[in-house]
Structure 1
Amino acid sequence: MMGDQQETLILRDVLIPGGRVADITIRDGLVLHIGAAGRGDVEIFCQDTTVLPAGTDLHVHMRDGVQKFKETWESGTKSAIAGGVTAVVDQPNTIPPLISPDLVRDRVFLAASQAYCRFAINGAVTGDSDLTGMYRAGVFAFGETFAGPSSYGEAVDFEVLSKTMKQISSWNGIMTIHAEQVTEGTDDSLTRHDALRSVSGEVQTVQDVLNLNSSQCNLHFCHLSSAQAIQSVPVGTATVEVTPHHLFLSKDTFSPDDPRGKVNPPLRSEKTRKEVFSCWDRIDVIGSDHAPHSIEDKDQSFEKAPSGIPGVETMIPLLMGWMVEKKITIPEIIQKTSTNPSEMLGLSPAGFLPGNRADFAIYPEDCTTIHADSLHSRAKWTPFEGMKAIFPEITILRGAIVFDGGEFIQPDLSSSRCDIHQTSLADDPGLSLWIPGRGYTLEKPI
């Protein structure tokens, strides 16, 4: 940075969706011009690459605190930008859960002290949550709200759920739903895990939540794992998120008692996995549900091992592998990993128009093979080991290179410029990567 103005970055010979090849001129964190460009302070030649607007991942668990052996904000956000993601939304089932404005503020400052990309924080929904206080403290959304118990997540009854929907609806806020029913029984294999957290229970929960929503609260269903559940959400009533692991993995991928395949909602049969992909056009958002656990945690017996798998770094690279196989298209990847989630988050779109946010990832042409030892999460393992993917060579955040050939560059926060819809943070560059929710404008800066 020089003064308050960034250097000019030129992306040369970018193949823009639709077939046009053009230069992209970037300055002050925004796309300035599309077309033939003069000299820039920094130039990147993009022939034989794919340039994508960077991803926004609405569903991560960045751990830290007492769980920093699983992940920290530094390792988790490095993992994100190494996977072409420049904005993440952290879920509130932390230890302790985020149920008060003070806990939200503590989480924001912890993240801000380490983050390599933009971040937002969600607030937890429990019987004891201070919803108003958290809304004013800047949470993006409320949830994931657990209809059934999950890792570090307390299930809420329908009375609390209905009351909470009405309150959030009065603010035009967002509630995210973890739709599961959990049956009692011995949970000692992937097959039993699937049966105890069944597809029918997921579908019933989706329908029950929709029926409860008399206030027309903005609902987002997280990580739906079956075609039946996806199809039970009428278009326009809620947004639908699916994870890479429910698109790429099934319980048949693993040995029957392998805890590395244990996740909530469960991995289903290969038949169900294929049916989920058949609903591709109905899926609004691909979210990683990045939920890292250490190898030691996962190497316990199936019953004792925690649910959850890492995924923020592999999310878009796996989709790029499918693009090479012509299963999906570049515009579809952009829509589901960048445009739609950014719109939900209140971020201006990253993209190929003047004025767009200058967050990009540059991918080579050739696939590689996923190996845990090349990833950056503290989990140090991946369920996608050996699968084909394309990882970005370069990631750009706010018009500056933050990842290049395996090397990380800490974002320069010396400029106080704020390029999101709030302006209350403009005088605090230390928080400039935080994306506060819409309610934050009701209260003076954090």
Structure 2
Amino acid sequence: MLDLVLRNATLPEGRVADLSFQNARLVHIGSAGRSDQEIDCTGLLCIPAATDIHVHMRGGSQSAKEDWRTGSMAALAGGVTMVVDQPNTIPPLLNQERYLERVREAKKDSLCSFAINGGISPGVDPLPLWRAGAMAFGEIFAAPSSYGDALTLEELKQALHEVHAFGAPATIHAEEVSPGTPDSLLAHHHIRSPEGEVRSLQLIRDILPPGMRPHICHISSPASLPVAPGSKEVTPHHLFLSIEQFTPDDTFARVNPPLRPESERQALFAAWDSIDIIASDHAPHTRGEKAVAFADAPSGLPGVETMLPLLMNEVRKGTITLSSVIEKTSVAPCRVLGILPAGFAPDQRHDFAFYPMQAESIRSENLHSRCGWTPYEGMVGVFPELVIQYGEVAYYHSEYAGIPGRYLAGRGYQVGEQIQ
């Protein structure tokens, strides 16, 4: 007797088959026997669930924006079963005590699997964070951003050498910020320009320790792709949104790096094959925080729930291939982190998302982030109907099973007994 059978699912290569699960593991693909639980997946496309390598789940003193419960609900509803949280929290994750508090907070509330990165600050030894379970270090800020202080080039060089010495991955926020206070999206674009992003990446490339391949966060310009060392991440908002789609001073479109003009957005999308990873940089703020003068508004957008639906709609249209979406959202992020990817093989995580491949309008009232808004309002996405996490139903027909997410620690993990 099987625990779960998902009947008549369409696999990525087009084959229709039953998926059989026992003891929370995928044990057979093909015709299935009897099961305690069966779901008819006729017409649903099954793909490995996504790992979002770049999210800010807020929580703590920032729970009005988002917390682990609402952020993980948004992730699952978007086909994401694994997220990697960034350390520029309040306070930042710079010591073992604060890091372990963050893990406990997530273990209590998260419905999706998660990892948490460690922070970098001058004079702070990163090794204790690595031993506490940090998946990676960063995003390390080469330019200031919301809740993130910039390191000087010399400080960045030292930090990269330190984490590389014990084999930890490093993720870098690369920008150059010119003097001035932006009062519009266009001014913000010029102050944090594509040319400055390229110069920042060139400087970073020159200070890397031998053999290090960092992960470069949220590249916003096609000119940066051939310059960036290591793995290259692009966000959905830089692929799908541009300055021209908003009024000049729309604070809800303010983000770092900034949105670019439409011509730049199109050129970035055209460079799809040069992009290694798509990650959301999910960074919600409340409506009230955004409803101020442009110069005073925080930078950041929600996006973990809409990332895969936007991409799957492009697959539906034939703009990009399904295999490339799986590679950039499921396989490559896990390869960079050194963790098992979701997939159909016996030694992979058995996390899957099932899509009806029918487009629907994106509406904020249908989304789950606590911030209650989306920059993609009225755009089109393909949302999953069913999400399987570690071989169990986690989300089905807009209902959550409530199964706690799992904590995935980094390779330096040595203090597990302290996390209860």
TM over 0.5: yes
Instruction: Give the AA of the match of 1:139.
Output: A
| Pairing partner for 2:224 from 206, 229, 248 | 229
Confirm or deny that 1:45 pairs with 2:45: no
Partner of 2:127: 132
Q: Does the C-alpha gap of structure 1 residues 433 and 286 become closer, same or farther in structure 2, counting only changes over 3 Å?
A: same
Judge conservation of contact 2:231–2:336 (CA < 8 Å) in 1: no
What are the superposed Cα offsets for residues 91-147 of structure 1, whole Å, 9 maximum, x if unpaired? Answer: 011001111111100100011110001011111111143301101001011100111
Judge conservation of contact 1:173–1:218 (CA < 8 Å) in 2: no
| Pairing partner for 1:18 from 4, 10, 13 | 13
C-alpha separation in 2, matches of 1:28 and 1:193: 52
RMSD of equivalent CA atoms: 1.5
| Pairing partner for 2:288 from 296, 308, 329 | 296
- 1:333 Cα deviation (Å)? 1.1
Instruction: Give the AA of the match of 2:408.
Output: I
- 1:7 Cα deviation (Å)? 6.0
How many positions carry a matched residue from both structures? 419
Q: What SS class does the counterpart of residue 148 from structure 1 fall into?
A: coil
Deviates more, 1:214-223 or 1:63-72: 214-223
Confirm or deny that 1:108 pairs with 2:103: yes
Instruction: Give the AA of the match of 2:281.
Output: D
Instruction: Give the AA of the match of 1:112.
Output: K
C-alpha separation in 1, matches of 2:172 and 2:398: 36
Partner of 2:406: 433
- 1:216 Cα deviation (Å)? 2.6
Judge conservation of contact 1:104–1:134 (CA < 8 Å) in 2: yes
- Which residues of structure 1 form unaligned runs of 5+? 1-5, 413-431
Mapping of residues 353-432 of structure 1, within 5 Å: 353-411=345-403
| Pairing partner for 1:148 from 143, 150, 155 | 143
Judge conservation of contact 2:75–2:81 (CA < 8 Å) in 1: yes
| Pairing partner for 1:261 from 240, 243, 253 | 253
Q: What SS class does the counterpart of residue 14 from structure 1 fall into?
A: strand
C-alpha separation in 1, matches of 2:274 and 2:244: 25
What are the superposed Cα offsets for residues 59-109 of structure 1, whole Å, 9 maximum, x if unpaired? Answer: 000111111000011000011001010000000110011111111001000
- Which residues of structure 2 form unaligned runs of 5+? none
- 1:377 Cα deviation (Å)? 0.4
C-alpha separation in 2, matches of 1:352 and 1:290: 27
Mapping of residues 188-207 of structure 1, within 5 Å: 188-207=183-202
C-alpha separation in 1, matches of 2:24 and 2:273: 32
Instruction: Give the AA of the match of 1:211.
Output: D
Judge conservation of contact 2:133–2:415 (CA < 8 Å) in 1: no
- 1:52 Cα deviation (Å)? 1.4
Partner of 1:169: 164
Instruction: Give the AA of the match of 2:138.
Output: G
Q: What SS class does the counterpart of residue 134 from structure 2 fall into?
A: coil
Confirm or deny that 1:325 pairs with 2:301: no
- 1:218 Cα deviation (Å)? 3.1
C-alpha separation in 2, matches of 1:7 and 1:39: 6
Judge conservation of contact 1:57–1:288 (CA < 8 Å) in 2: yes
C-alpha separation in 2, matches of 1:25 and 1:129: 49
What are the superposed Cα offsets for residues 285-310 of structure 1, whole Å, 9 maximum, x if unpaired? Answer: 10000000001111111011100000
C-alpha separation in 1, matches of 2:4 and 2:48: 15
Instruction: Give the AA of the match of 1:138.
Output: G
Judge conservation of contact 1:141–1:173 (CA < 8 Å) in 2: yes
Judge conservation of contact 1:33–1:354 (CA < 8 Å) in 2: no
Instruction: Give the AA of the match of 2:188.
Output: H
- 1:441 Cα deviation (Å)? 3.7
- 1:214 Cα deviation (Å)? 2.9
- 1:18 Cα deviation (Å)? 2.2
Q: What SS class does the counterpart of residue 412 from structure 2 fall into?
A: helix
Q: What SS class does the counterpart of residue 439 from structure 1 fall into?
A: coil
Judge conservation of contact 1:11–1:25 (CA < 8 Å) in 2: yes
Partner of 1:252: 244
C-alpha separation in 1, matches of 2:336 and 2:105: 24
Q: Normalising by the residue count of structure 2, what TM-score does the alignment of the two structures yield?
A: 0.97
Partner of 1:310: 302
Aligned-pair identity in percent equals: 46
C-alpha separation in 1, matches of 2:47 and 2:237: 22
What are the superposed Cα offsets for residues 290-333 of structure 1, whole Å, 9 maximum, x if unpaired? Answer: 00000111111101110000000000000011111110111111
C-alpha separation in 2, matches of 1:347 and 1:180: 28
Instruction: Give the AA of the match of 2:389.
Output: L
Instruction: Give the AA of the match of 2:407.
Output: W
| Pairing partner for 1:90 from 85, 88, 97 | 85
Partner of 1:421: none
C-alpha separation in 2, matches of 1:210 and 1:305: 32
Judge conservation of contact 1:23–1:36 (CA < 8 Å) in 2: yes
Partner of 2:344: 352
C-alpha separation in 2, matches of 1:78 and 1:88: 12
C-alpha separation in 2, matches of 1:351 and 1:321: 21
Instruction: Give the AA of the match of 1:338.
Output: S
Q: Normalising by the residue count of structure 1, what TM-score does the alignment of the two structures yield?
A: 0.91
Judge conservation of contact 1:30–1:356 (CA < 8 Å) in 2: no
Deviates more, 1:116-125 or 1:345-354: 345-354
Partner of 1:341: 333
Instruction: Give the AA of the match of 2:319.
Output: K
C-alpha separation in 2, matches of 1:167 and 1:182: 26
Confirm or deny that 1:70 pairs with 2:62: no
Structure 1 segments (4+ residues) deviating >3 Å: 441-446
